[in-house]
A and B are shown apart, each in its own frame.
Chain A
Amino acid sequence: MTVAATVRPAESAHRRRRIRPRRLVLYGFLSAMALVWLFPLVWAIYTALRPYSDTQAHGYISTPSVLSIENFTNAWNQADFPRHYLNSLLVAVPAVIVTLIVASMVAFAVSRFSWRFNLLVLMLFTAGNLLPPQVIIVPLFRLYLLLPLPRLLSDNGLVYDQYLGIILINVVFQTGFCVFVLSNYMKTLSKELTEAALVDGASVFRIWGAVIMPLCRPALAALATLEFTFIYNDFFWGLILMKSGDKRPITSALNNLQGQFFTNTNLLAAGALLAAVPTILVFLALQRHFISGLSLGASKG
């Protein structure tokens, strides 16, 4: 609404044009949609900022007599947020780094060299990423219970209930998406690059690291942003493959939070917002990368 109001005089003053009613409808519609879209988040913030006693006394739809961050500090302490943030970092950071390295190698090999099984490999990775995780979870769960790991890497001697296990499945699953995006991106790079470097006697490993990777920096930045939010936002793997509640990443731990704070909506709102803060910050800071990552996935290069 406000946008429409400010736009109108500016336009007519500049161009002395008649106000076009269709434009007004457009801005009106967009503004109304934007308000509707913002509302659930704004409401969550508003609820979280109000003490439980205040909403109990005056109802939820009322002007606040006090606003405080008390719910945030309570949720922070009661649900042990520092612990779960750390768990999320322990999973997401290594998973993103390994995914990008692995995927860039596969993409490099299948897009820069012609090879009998190129398309098959590409399809196996891409299709694997499109499968609903629930299709594979039952055997995967059994496999995680069977696979031994040295004690150094796992405190129960298994892949199940370990950070490593969660990192592993995230890497394998997300590699599919990244291979798809990166191989499309690499195909747009000049074909002569690889040849010239080979003629100069560079090894393929060096071509990957010193020629192709630097050129893929925009795609890698976009994917890093996107993959961080994907993996941070993963609910399913952490829920099923991590049994210990205190080792679960924050998103999977929300399942307990829901039960724990069920009777106190204000506290629940604060908890959900705390869990959302990292992704919102990443998005606002790296919006451009986030969006170009999504677009890269949808179109070629």
Chain B
Amino acid sequence: MADRASQGIAPVTAGSSGGTGATAIRRVRRHYSLLTRRDKIVLALMVGIPLFFDLALIWGPTIVSIVFSFTNWNGIGGISGKNFIGLKNYDSLFTAYPFFWPALQHNLLWLAWLMFLATPVGVFLAVLLDREVRGTRIYQTIFYLPVVLSLAVIGIIWSLQYAPEQGFINNVLGRTSNNNLIDWLGDPSLNLWAALVATSWRHVGYIMVLYLAGLKAFDPALREAAKVDGASERQTFVHVVFPVMQPINVVIVVITTIEALRAFDIAFIINGGKNGLELLSTLITNNALSESNRVGFGSAIAVILLVISLGPIIAFLARMMREEKQ
């Protein structure tokens, strides 16, 4: 593969954006001699070695996950034909396993919360801070400070708010005695919401930084023009700024979706992702990487997560391709 690939290599020349059309072919030929044989080998290695690891450690396992999902392998001994049980794992996942639908529901709730609450707040803060606000740097620093913290640390910092007897919230509410305390992280009808608040603390700042960067690159002349035409600030944002920010909007939707599907750390640090905090991600590890060793079953959950993840991933790749063409 390296050999065939290296034959097609030519330096990108001024004015050419890819390898299409007759002019590009002529250019390729013209500059062919500039690259020595050694150069081509070096370039092939520069891409080939990292690509090998990318395929071996990410895409290979992705495919093996799919294969595993059709087996009842428990991780002991090898896999033989006898282990293949068709769609049985999926069948019991959908019909018998009590945690699958709740976990999927929790992931979707996670997504909805981030998408319709946390992300808009982040965008809103970015829009506010993009105006001439005094001390804007200080506000920005405060809002994105949580972004540098790990989700594990965030889980612990928020457990100081939620702890039943020693936490801030219950102390403020006066609900710390045994008969009236609110078990924010232990009660399965509350702990998901508690985790969502904690995760939003970070997500809002993250989205704010990204959106602010986009707004900074926004052409102020457009805004001025809208103002001259008598548009209000809200109208300007809705009809001028927001549409122009389309590429950033796509990135933000993709990032928000991916974050919701990846959710794991906070749930795991709170209670191992059980008892109301089941997520697809924690079901995978709790089935396939625990003592029960249900490798095949856990992999079936991984495949479901993969299929859902392909949505935002394809959206992102489509954007990349569109930009590449321009």
Contact residues of A with B, CB < 8 Å? 3, 7, 26-27, 29-30, 33-34, 37-38, 40-41, 43-44, 47, 55, 59-61, 102-103, 105-106, 108-119, 121-128, 130-143, 168-169, 171-173, 175-176, 179, 190-192, 194-195, 198-199, 203-205, 208, 229, 232-236, 239-240, 251-252, 254-255, 257-258, 265, 268-269, 271-272, 275-276, 279-280, 282-283, 287, 290-291, 294-295, 298-300
Contact = CB atoms under 8 A, between A and B. Distances in A.
Interface stretch (B92-100, B210-218, B219-227, B235-243): B210-218
Interface in B70-105: 75
A177 B11 CA distance: 24
A267 to B, nearest CB: 11
Given A40-B160, A128-B59, A175-B50, 15 more contacts: A27-B134, A30-B128, A34-B142, A37-B143, A38-B142, A106-B46, A114-B19, A121-B51, A134-B280, A134-B302, A137-B284, A204-B35, A204-B42, A235-B150, A254-B153
B186 interface: no
B289 A137 contact: yes
Contact of A295 (B31, B75, B210, B262): B210
Interface of B: 5, 8-16, 18-19, 24, 28, 31, 34-36, 38-39, 42-43, 46-47, 49-51, 53-55, 57-62, 64-65, 68, 75, 125, 128-129, 131, 133-135, 138-139, 141-153, 155-161, 163, 166-168, 171-172, 201, 205-206, 209-210, 213-214, 217, 247-248, 251-252, 254-255, 258, 261-262, 264-265, 268-269, 280-281, 284-285, 288-289, 295, 298-299, 302, 305-306, 309, 312-313, 316-317, 320-321, 323-324
Given A7-B134, A138-B298, A291 B144 contact: yes
| Top 4 A-B residue pairs of the complex, sorted by shortest distance between their CB atoms | A295-B213, A233-B150, A139-B61, A139-B64
A60 B170 CA distance: 10
Nearest to A278: B148
Contacts of B47: 105-106, 109-110, 121
B152 A204 contact: no
Question: What is the predominant secondary structure among interface residues of chain B facing chain A?
Answer: helix
Contacts of B295: 138, 142
Given A30-B128, A40-B201, A233-B150, A294 B163 contact: no
Contact of A298 (B248, B268, B324): B248
